[in-house]
Chains A and B, each alone.
Chain A
């Protein structure tokens, strides 16, 4: 239980948060979810997360600013970006730096679980 990795999920579509939380918890992660970027922003100043999963296109702030802030606060945090299928290429180009991986919507639960597991392996590898 002690070395449980912490994950933050930010997506303004509630369905994404509601589905991801149990799916990741079952893999043994501790998961906090946010649909409001303001609250998520506040949270990353309070707590450090091992993995952050964020959508790129949201109503209030864009995912890019959030992502930059995450990296500024905790450079070692691995960031996974969710993006619409159409904007995948642009997203990859503009964010290649510092992003662990990209996932296009709609995606399978097993896909994101696999990416998160890879990120976790990287973190544990770095710690060892």
Chain B
């Protein structure tokens, strides 16, 4: 019986030794992956070359800069330490904003998901708060928290909070009653049900919320820096804009792009690991 079934399943246990067909198949996949990579690099080279060529020929470099000028500026900033000193401020504010917003959003999402009455009572108020464009709160946060890092943390936390809160809430409401009842019968306390059933089951929703909210945290911080600050990547971009220094503006944007991409990549890895039980 067992032999039949495990053979039918296949994914559970493998035979161990790889056959020729398997090796050929895997080599094919590997080759395709390689082709994609090479094409990506080629595309980037073509794009950057065109930009470099067009700058000064078709378009005025005063407005669009050029890859070499942007690269030069980034190199300069790296050497004189400016890059790190501004980037660290922005990253710190983003990280704090993300963790504070996500933490509160997750906790309240669990609470509201658990107590349906509370959720029903608070529903219109939450909807009202959610409808405020959070960036409109930025001036208020600057009055409250000053032009330092605190106001930027507040802006990004307020954005992240709602995304994570709403996703966690939806995730908790989505948990199957069957799992809750069966674990209760097995002896789970309320806390154990939360830990072993509700949270893991809501993970898919929560992760989606986190993934969406990380770029928002970055946006919140940078917008806060645009408005009023004395450090950070947003500050650099705002300053450079004032001086019509497009080289620096582009350099700032490139930094934000790279940072955003790295964070997204990390989140994707985390998601893959946390949701490895799904197909």
Whether both chains belong to one complex is answered with: no
Q: Interface on B for A, CB 8 Å cutoff?
A: none
